[in-house]
Each structure stands twice: as C-alpha cells, then as structure tokens.
Amino acid sequence: MDADPADQPRADAQALAVVQFAPHTDIDANLAALTERVRAAADQGARIVVAPEYSMFALGRLDERVHAAAQPIDGPFVTALARLAADTGVHLVAGVVETTTPDDGRIHNTLVVLGPDGALVTHYRKVHLYDAFGQRESDIVRPGPLTEPPVFTAAGLTFGLQTCFDLRFPEGFRRLAAAGAQVLLLPAQWIPGPGKVDQWATLLRARAIENTVYLAAADHCGPRGAGHSMIVDPAGRIVSELADEPGIALAPLEPELLDKVRRTNPSLSLRRFTVSAP
C-alpha cells in the first residue's frame, strides 16, 4: 500500500531541533555547551533551534544565587546568543535569567528568540510559576505580564512560546493556537521525580493533539532535569525524542501534514469557547 505523500518528510522541509544539555551555575560553560549543540544542529539542517529553560544559569532548587547571575535582556549572555544565531543562520530560542527592577527583589524567567540576523525577535516571561511538588519558584521569580500571545514567524510558519510549568495549563496553549500558532515551543527544566516523565510525554502529546500543532520541548538532562526532549507532530506522534543524555532531536516541519491533520480533525474551528487573558 502506498503511503500518503503528506506523511513523508520533504527534502526541502524546514527542520526544527531541540537541544538537551545540563546547564548549571557556570554561565560561560553553559554558553559553550549550548554553542556546541546549536552549531551541530545547524550543521544537520536545523533552521529553528530550541534550547531549555534556564539555559543561562540553572539550579535544582532556586535560591539567592540567581540574583547575582541575572542579566538584562540586552546583557552579555543574550548578546552572545544573538551572535550565535547570526553565525549559524538559525532562529534560536533559549531561557535566560533576566533582571527586573532594582527594588523588586526577584528575577524574570525569560525566553528570548534571536533571529538569523542576530536581532531579538521577541521574548516571553514565564506566567505560570512552579509552586508545586515542594518548590516555590514565585519566591525568586516575578511572573510575566499577561500580554498578547507571544508568537513569531519563521520558515513560513507561526511559532508560539510557553515555558515548562505552563504545560499544565492548556488555556495558554489554546490562546497561542487561536492566535495562529502552528508550532508551539516549550523550553523547560522538568524536575525529575516519580511519574514525571510519563506526565511530561502525556501532556506534550495532549497539547499537540488538542491544538493540532507541532510541539517541540527542550528539557535539561539529569540530574537537574528529566530529559526526554522531543518533537511531536500535530497528530500527537512523537517524531524525535532523546533519553537522558545531552543531545539533539531533529525533525522536519511539514506544512502539508499540518494542513492534512487540520482538515481531518478541525477541532480549532469547531470549538465553542474562546480563551482570553483575565
């Protein structure tokens, strides 16, 4: 039986990569590790590369050390990411520790998107903070403002941004899909624990299926993350996945497959409720 052409990767399909590594408290070492993987992903054909939440500076449990590590969004770490994006010709998405106002006492958990020209395309400050499983991210992190859905366009597709714990709040993903997102990107530091990998995979596939979108999730590997970075297609099929070691997962983005899934399952056009920020 012949396969449907829409189910086959196209040679000219734009490639999406998620990179998985183990950032810690040495910002220079984190940048070097990330640079190595972004360059490798670009060499493999990636045009959009997604790195984890807290790629700049990471702890198993946040404490006051993040205040000293925080930088403005135009600081040296993001400037280095901009050069890397320009050098490799990719759209690069990564999580940074961003300073807030001097009197706030907290930082922002921020995603930045750097374009292949080195420009800051957009950014997203995490809205849902990880006050769960015995952690209190809100003691250290200021929640981001409820702005317009964070989307950008690349490779002829529209991408939306969410971060880690946002995964447990489906309305944020639906807002992005309603705003036109066809690919949802989720940098994360998914803290390991009993059942956490099963929850991670289940929720990622659910967000892809219910919104008929590609979903790319970049996690930390152990010991500060659960690993299993993956790319899921609009039908919920895992098309590329890592285990718990540093690496790169790569997959083509196929507009024909996206269109086919949305014709077969027009759940976005059939919805009866809208989602908006309060």
Is residue 7 scored above 90 in pLDDT?
no
pLDDT bracket for residue 102 (50, 70, 90): confident
Q: Does 221 participate in catalysis according to the annotation?
A: no
Mean local confidence (pLDDT), 110-129: 98
pLDDT (tens digit per residue) in 13-50: 589 999 999 999 999 999 999 999 999 999 999 999 99
pLDDT tens per residue across span 186-233: 999 999 999 999 999 999 999 999 999 999 999 999 999 999 999 999
Q: What is the pLDDT of residue 6?
A: 40
pLDDT value for 14: 80
Whether the per-residue pLDDT at 249 is higher than 60: the answer is: yes
Residue 10 has pLDDT above 60, yes or no: no
pLDDT above 90 coverage of the chain, percent: 91
Active-site hit among 98, 126, 221, 241: 126
Of the two residues 31 and 277, the one the predictor is more confident about is: 31
As a three-state string, the secondary structure of the chain is: CCCCHHHCCCCCCEEEEEEEECCCCCHHHHHHHHHHHHHHHHHCCEEEEECCCCCCCCCCCCCCHHHHHCECCCCHHHHHHHHHHHHHCCEEEEEEEEECCCCCCCEEEEEEEECCCCCEEEEEECCCCCCCCCCCHHHCECCCCCCCCCEEEECCEEEEECCHHHHHCHHHHHHHHHCCCCEEEEECCCCCCCCHHHHHHHHHHHHHHHHCCEEEEECECCCCCCCCCEEECCCCCEEEECCCCCEEEEEEECHHHHHHHHHHCCHHHHCCCCCCCC
What is the per-residue pLDDT for 13?
58
**Could you say which of 98, 137, 164, 241 is catalytic?**
164
Task: Give the start-to-end residue ranges of the domains of the chain.
Answer: 14-259
Q: Is the pLDDT of residue 3 over 50?
A: no
pLDDT on residue 104: 80
* Residue 126 known to be catalytic: yes
Domain topology for 14-259:
Nitrilase/N-carbamoyl-D-aminoacid amidohydrolase (3.60.110)
pLDDT digits (tens, 9 = 90+) for 145-200: 999 999 999 989 999 999 999 999 999 999 999 999 999 999 999 999 999 999 99
pLDDT digits (tens, 9 = 90+) for 45-83: 999 999 999 999 999 999 999 999 999 999 999 999 999
Clarify whether 53 is annotated catalytic: yes
Q: What is the pTM of this model?
A: 0.94
